[in-house]
Amino acid sequence: MKVKGKYMKSILSVAMLAVALCGCTGKDDTLKMITEATFPPYEFLRGQEIVGIDVEICRAVAQRLNRPFKAETVDFDSVIPAVISGKADLAAAGITITEDRKKNVDFSIPYVKTGIVVISKKSNLFQTTDQLKGKKIGVQSGTTSENYVLEQLQQEPERSKSPAEAVAALKAGRVAFVIADIDPAKNCVKGDDELALSDFITSEEYAVAIRKGQPELLAAINATIAELKANGTLAKWIADFTAESDSLKDK
Ligand code: ARG
């Protein structure tokens, strides 16, 4: 018994030393953002670094909470599951608020009003949604564009990993049209004389999504977004990251 007690004590002191060296309570306090970084200007890669409007919003939440911050990118289908399972704290990926998603996550107040558009070749210019019926339509997997094809057009879309990949399929003639959110769509079409963008075919709003039942975290996110909107910071980020992602295209 005595030996065992001593043994336990030394294990405990090693553990306590580890905690002290780590400078924390053993719990990782990092606020983890999950995103899908092929969606400029909201999130894209600057070299290896994930940057964009959504990243700055989440970093500002971490600053408010005085917590370290980290962003990670996965396929868009895996973004919302990552906050549900607790692998990440904040999902921010130009995520549209939908009734379906509201069943599984809580949404912050919206930070952008937007929608999806049709990208077409000028040689087969999109004018009315009748043109979409029965055609191969490229979308990013897991998005509201995919839902539009499934629900409004009642047909199977051609799924891609990113808006840019869907646009490459359009250019190669593998799909007739692409549906995507307007800002990444604008980025894809920029500098390409062959392609055109339609007006909005839906009206949507982006928000940050978190695991349900975290009123304090939700309040912190909402306060951050309200402040960034009111003081002009959000508008500045939109302008700056649009310019940066457009210029990355010119290279
Ligand atoms: N707004 C659309 C949606 O919520 C598309 C978002 C795609 N975002 C991304 N980072 N790839 O379904």
Q: How much is the pLDDT for 230?
A: 98
Distance 38 CA to ligand 1 centre (A): 10
**Tell me, what's the pLDDT at 220?**
98
pLDDT along the chain (251 residues), means of 10: 49 48 66 98 98 98 98 98 98 99 98 98 97 98 98 98 98 98 98 97 98 98 98 98 92 64
Residue 93, ligand 1, Cβ within 6 A: yes
Per the listing, tokens 């019926």 go with: 133
Domains and CATH numbers, the chain: 31-113+205-250 (3.40.190.10), 116-202 (3.40.190.10)
Q: Are 70 and 13 in contact (CB under 8 A)?
A: no
The pLDDT value recorded for residue 19 is: 47
Distance CA 101, CA 80 (A): 8
141 CA to middle of ligand 1, Å?
9
Rounded distance between C-alpha atoms, residue 20 and residue 195, angstroms: 59
Write down the pLDDT at residue 137. Answer: 98
**Phi, psi torsion values for 232, nearest 5 degrees:** 85, -5
Q: Which residues, 6+ apart, have CB-to-CB distance to 37 below 8 Å?
A: 43, 44, 45, 50, 52, 73
Residue 162: what pLDDT? Answer: 98
> Which atom of ligand 1 sits closest to the CA of residue 37?
10
- Ligand 1 within 6 A of 146 CB? no
Q: What is the pTM of this model?
A: 0.90
- 141 CB less than 6 Å from ligand 1? no
pLDDT of residue 249: 81
Task: Take residue 103 and report the two structure tokens written for it.
Answer: 């069943």
